[in-house]
C-alpha cells in the first residue's frame, strides 16, 4: 500500500485523463439525453432469443406471376428460448419465406440461434411467434473480444490504453453525439466538441501528456478544422439538401416538431469519418520527428521541418488512398446500382449521394494535407524550443 502514492504521482496525468474523460462522458450524456426524442409506438412487441430444436413442417404455396412460378414457403419449427423470463421454454414458431421480400432471409435450420417476435394478427387477434432475424451477437462479441485481446497481447500497457481510448470514443459517439442530435442541439458544435474530446483523450491515454502529443493535437485539430471549413464552404456551392438516401428522408419524420438538419448530418459524418485518418497521420508525424530529435539532438528547426515534409510526402500518398478506398469500399453496393441504372457519367456525378461521397473523400484528404505541415512545424518548434530552454 505504501507504493500507491508513488504510483499515483508518477501517473497523475494518466489518472487525471481518465477522471476528466469519465466526467465529460457523464456530463455530456446527461445534457444530450435531457430532451432526446424517443419514438413511442405504443405497446412494444415481445422479442426473445432462441435456439431452433427441430423443423416441424414446410408449407409451400405456389403462385403464378405472368409466365413465372413462385412459391411462398411457411416453415414451422420448435425452438427453446435462451434469455429473459421465458428462458428454457419450448414453443412453436414459424418463418415466412416470401420470394418478393426486399431482403430475403435464409431458411431456418436446426441448431440456428435466432431472435423471434410475438406478433398478433390485426384481423383475427391470433398471436404467433415469428422468426425476426438470426442472432449474430455471439460471434460478433467473440470477434470483438479476440481483437481486443490481440491489442492487449501485442501492445501490453499501450494496448490496454488503446482499448480504453477505443471504448471512450465509442461511448462519446453513441452516448453523447447521437443523443445530442436527437435532442435538437446544434449538430455542428456537438460534432466539433466530440471530435476535440476524442483527439485529446486518445493522445493523452495512448501517448501521454508530452510534447509529442501536443504537436500531434495541434496538427490533427488544425487539419480537422480545415476539413470542416471546406465542407461548410462547399455546402452552398454544391447546393446540398442532405437527402442522400431513403434513410435521410426518414430522419425528417422522426421528430416533426424539431426536424433534424440533414446538411449538418453530412457535416458530422465527414468529420467523424476523417478524424481517424487525420489523427493517425498527425501521430505518425509527431512520433517520427520525436525519434529524429532523440537520435540527433543537434537537429535544428529547419532540419526537422525539412525531414518532416519528406516523411509527410511518403505518408500522404498511401494515407489518401486509404481514406478514399475506405469510402469506396463502404459504398460498393450503392456504386454498382448507380452505375448500372445511370444514363450517363454526367448524371451519375451530379447525384447528391455521389457528390457527398466525393466531398467526404476530398475533404478528408485536404484535412490530411494540412495536418502534415501543421504537425511538422509545431513539432519542430516544440522540440527545438525545449532544447533551448
| pLDDT at site 40 | 58
pLDDT value for 253: 76
CA pair distance 238, 356, nearest whole angstrom: 9
Instruction: Give the right CATH number for 47-135 from 2.60.40, 1.10.1060, 1.10.10, 2.40.50.
Output: 2.40.50
Please tell me the predicted confidence (pLDDT) of residue 170: 93
Specify the pLDDT at position 229: 94
- Determine the longest span between alpha carbons in the chain, in angstroms: 86
* Residue that has been written with the C-alpha cell 394478427 in this structure: 121
Report the alpha-carbon angle 248-343-362, nearest 5: 55
Q: Can you give the pTM of this predicted structure?
A: 0.83
Task: Report the relative pairing of strands 113-120 and 47-65 from DSSP bridges.
Answer: antiparallel
Where does CATH 2.40.50 sit in the chain?
47-135
Residues in the chain: 389
Q: What per-residue confidence (pLDDT) applies to 222? A: 95
**The predicted structure's pLDDT at residue 1:** 46
Mean pLDDT of residues grouped by 10 in the chain (389 residues)?
56 83 92 71 74 89 72 88 87 83 81 88 74 89 92 87 91 92 89 95 89 93 94 88 78 76 90 90 92 86 90 82 78 76 73 84 89 93 73
Amino acid at each position: 500500500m505504501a507504493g500507491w502514492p508513488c504510483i499515483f504521482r508518477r501517473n497523475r496525468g494518466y489518472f487525471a485523463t481518465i477522471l476528466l474523460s469519465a466526467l465529460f462522458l457523464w456530463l455530456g450524456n446527461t445534457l444530450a439525453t435531457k430532451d432526446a426524442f424517443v419514438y413511442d409506438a405504443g405497446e412494444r412487441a415481445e422479442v426473445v432469443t432462441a435456439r431452433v430444436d427441430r423443423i416441424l413442417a414446410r408449407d409451400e404455396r405456389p403462385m403464378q406471376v405472368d409466365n413465372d412460378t413462385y412459391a411462398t414457403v411457411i416453415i414451422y419449427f420448435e425452438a427453446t428460448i435462451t434469455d429473459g423470463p421465458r428462458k428454457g421454454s419450448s414453443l412453436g414458431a414459424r418463418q415466412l419465406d416470401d420470394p418478393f421480400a426486399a431482403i430475403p432471409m435464409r431458411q431456418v435450420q436446426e441448431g440456428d440461434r435466432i431472435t423471434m417476435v410475438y406478433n398478433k394478427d390485426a384481423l383475427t387477434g391470433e398471436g404467433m411467434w415469428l422468426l425476426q432475424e438470426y442472432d449474430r451477437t455471439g460471434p460478433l462479441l467473440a470477434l470483438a473480444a479476440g481483437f481486443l485481446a490481440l491489442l492487449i497481447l501485442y501492445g501490453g500497457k499501450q494496448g490496454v490504453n488503446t482499448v480504453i481510448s477505443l471504448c471512450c470514443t465509442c461511448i462519446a459517439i453513441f452516448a453523447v453525439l447521437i443523443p445530442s442530435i436527437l435532442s435538437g442541439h446544434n449538430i455542428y458544435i456537438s460534432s466539433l466538441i466530440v471530435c476535440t474530446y476524442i483527439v485529446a483523450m486518445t493522445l493523452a491515454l495512448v501517448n501521454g501528456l508530452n510534447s509529442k502529443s501536443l504537436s500531434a493535437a495541434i496538427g490533427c485539430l488544425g487539419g480537422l478544422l480545415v476539413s470542416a471549413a471546406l465542407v461548410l464552404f462547399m455546402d452552398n456551392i454544391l447546393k446540398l439538401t442532405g437527402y442522400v438516401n431513403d434513410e435521410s428522408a426518414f430522419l425528417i419524420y422522426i421528430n416533426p416538431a424539431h426536424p433534424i438538419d440533414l446538411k449538418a448530418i453530412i457535416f458530422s459524418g465527414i468529420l467523424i469519418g476523417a478524424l481517424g485518418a487525420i489523427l493517425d497521420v498527425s501521430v505518425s508525424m509527431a512520433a517520427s520527428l520525436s525519434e529524429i530529435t532523440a537520435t540527433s539532438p543537434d537537429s535544428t528547426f529547419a532540419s526537422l521541418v525539412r525531414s518532416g515534409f519528406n516523411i509527410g510526402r511518403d505518408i500522404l500518398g498511401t494515407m489518401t488512398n486509404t481514406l478514399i478506398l475506405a469510402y469506396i469500399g463502404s459504398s460498393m453496393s450503392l456504386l454498382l446500382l448507380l452505375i448500372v441504372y445511370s444514363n450517363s457519367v454526367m448524371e451519375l456525378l451530379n447525384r447528391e449521394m455521389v457528390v457527398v461521397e466525393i466531398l467526404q473523400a476530398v475533404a478528408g484528404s485536404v484535412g490530411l494535407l494540412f495536418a502534415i505541415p501543421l504537425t511538422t512545424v509545431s513539432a519542430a518548434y516544440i522540440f527545438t524550443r525545449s532544447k533551448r530552454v
